[in-house]
Amino acid sequence: MHIGGGPNDASTKAPFTAAIDARTDDFRRCYAKLASPAARGTFGVDLMIAKEGGHPATSNVRTVLPGDVFRACMIAVFESIDFAPPKHGRTKLSYALRLEPAEHR
């Protein structure tokens, strides 16, 4: 994770990471929508979180993993995360998840 224009220390990242990590099961459900059960790769996205917090706007999706259904599912999960108001006001995050079959985790 990278926080645009702000500190990138563990304490600043912690509330964002916790909010995203709470949706792990939802991301796994999206991964199951891939045509190939052995697919692996990353899914990156930029998230713009308003100073009031709430649901982020997404942009700049980055992935080589195929499938419109998978991609739409991942975006929907990210957009449904309810972030607390960021400590430093409006915040842009760049975030990437590594996705791989369960036996490789």
- Report which residue type is found at 60: N
Q: Return the residue matching tokens 């990242």.
A: 13
Q: How confident is the model at residue 103 (pLDDT cuts 50, 70, 90)?
A: low
Q: Return the residue matching tokens 């369960």.
A: 102
- pLDDT tens figures, 3-13: 887 788 899 99
Supply angle C-alpha 21, 26, 30, rounded to 5: 125
Residue 70: partners with Cβ closer than 8 Å, 6 or more residues away: 30, 31, 33, 34
What DSSP designation does 80 have?
A: H
- pLDDT tens figures, 31-89: 999 988 789 999 999 999 999 999 999 999 999 999 999 999 999 999 999 999 998 89
The total number of residues written for the chain in this structure: 105
